[in-house]
Amino acid sequence: MKIIVTGGTGLVGSGIKSIQENYPEMTFFYLNSKDCDLKNYQDTLEVFKKIRPDTVIHLAANVGGLYKNMTQRVEMFEENILMNLNVIKASYQVGVKNLLACLSTCVFPDGIVPLNENILNDGAPHPSNEGYAYAKRMLELHCRLYTQQYDINYRCIIPTNIYGNNDNYNLEDSHVIPGLIHRCYLAKQQGLPFVIRGTGKPIRQFIYNIDLAKIIIDMIQYNIKTNIIASPSQEHSIEYIARLIAKKFEYNNIMFDDTFSDGQYSKTADNSKLINIFQNFEFTDLETGISRTVDYFIENYTTVKR
C-alpha cells in the first residue's frame, strides 16, 4: 500500500514516521512545502500523479494557537480552503479511494458539550477561530460529498489538542503545550517569572502525537468508514498543564496574566465512538508525554521550530 502523508514533517506526520517500521506492508511518502505547494492545484496534481498513492492521509494545514487564529483569520481561512480543496480533488483524480483528513475539535459549535461526531454543524464555532474552523468544516463536507457521490471512503479524524516531539514552539503562533514549554524554558534561563497567558482555568483534553499516529494507521488498516473524535477521556486545566511543565523544569516561579483572553472555557469531547471501535487502545498518560516532549525540546533547542 502506497500512502501519501501531507504535512509529513509536522507534528502528526513525524509521529507516523516514528512508528512506520511497525507497518512493513505500507510505503509512506511524506510531503512538505518543499516538495509541493498544496495551495496550487497543478503542483498538487503532478505530485499525486507521480506517486499514484492508494491512500492519502491529509494532515497539512496552516495551524496555530488562539492568538494566531484571532489575528490571522483571513490567512487561516483562505490557505486551508485551498490546500484542502486541492488535496481532495487531486486524490480523486488519481484514483484514491481511501482518504483520511485531519480536523480539530475547535471546528465544533461554541457552547455545546459534550462534543460528538454528529453535532459538527449544529451551530457557529467560537468567534476566536472561525476562519480556521469554517475551512475545516468545508473539508469535512468535501470528504462527505465525494464519499456519497462516488462510493469511496473519504472521512475525517477529529483530534483534541495534540502535543509531542517536533511541534511548533513559536511563542506567539504555537498551541498551548509547546508554547508553555518554550516560555518556561526561557523564564528559567533568564530568572524571570513563567507567565501563563489567561487565568489558567480553561480545561482541555490532550493527545500525544504518537497515540494519534497509531489511531490514524488503525483507521487506514481497518478501513473505518466514519468520522471519529480522537481523544483521551481525561480533561485538565491549563494551570495543571503549566504546573506539570514547571515541575519538569524544576522551576516554581509561576504567574498568570489575566489580561489575555482564555478563549473557550471547555470543549469536552466524547470519545465513546473511538473507544467502542478500538476497545484496547492505551493512551500515553499526560505527565509521561509532557516529560518526553520537554526532554526533546531541550535536546533539540537549536533546531526546533520556534
CATH number for the domain harbouring residue 66: 3.40.50.720
> Does residue 114 have a cis bond before it (omega within 30 degrees)?
yes
Is residue 305's pLDDT more than 90? no
Q: How confident is the model at residue 263 (pLDDT cuts 50, 70, 90)?
A: confident
Domain count, the chain: 1
Enter the pTM of the model: 0.94
C-alpha cell of residue 94: 488519481
Task: Check: CB of residue 241 under 8 Å from CB of residue 206.
Answer: yes
SS3 state of residue 203? strand
- Does 224 reside within a domain? yes
Is residue 162's pLDDT more than 90? yes
pLDDT at position 66, please? 67
Give tens-digit pLDDT for 113-125: 899 999 999 999 9
Full residue range of the structural domain in which residue 63 is found: 2-163+206-230
Is residue 65's pLDDT more than 80? no
Among 135, 191, 120, 178, CA closest to 304: 178
C-alpha cell of residue 114: 459534550
- Does 83 reside within a domain? yes
pLDDT at position 29, please? 98
- Does 211 reside within a domain? yes
pLDDT at position 241, please? 97
Is residue 127's pLDDT more than 90? no
* Section 167-181 average pLDDT: 88
- Does 113 reside within a domain? yes
- Does 27 reside within a domain? yes
Is residue 59's pLDDT more than 80? yes
End-to-end CA distance of the chain: 35
224-238 in b/e burial notation, b at 16+ Cβ within 10 A?
beebbbbbbeebebb
pLDDT at position 71, please? 80
Give tens-digit pLDDT for 181-200: 999 999 999 999 999 999 99
C-alpha cell of residue 115: 462534543
- Does 250 reside within a domain? no
Active-site residue set: 132
What residue has cell string 506539570?
Answer: 244
- Does 246 reside within a domain? no
- Does 91 reside within a domain? yes
For 18-26, the CB contacts below 8 A with 24+ separation are 18/165, 18/210, 18/213, 19/210, 19/213, 19/214, 19/217, 23/217, 23/221, 25/1, 26/1, 26/217, 26/220
pLDDT at position 42, please? 97
Please state, rounded to an integer, the average pLDDT across all residues of the chain.
94
Task: Please state, in angstroms and as integers, the Cα–Cα distance from residue 167 to each residue in 13, 76, 182, following that order.
Answer: 10, 18, 11
pLDDT at position 45, please? 98
CA distance linking residue 186 with residue 299, whole number of Å: 14
Among 149, 153, 181, 154, CA closest to 168: 181
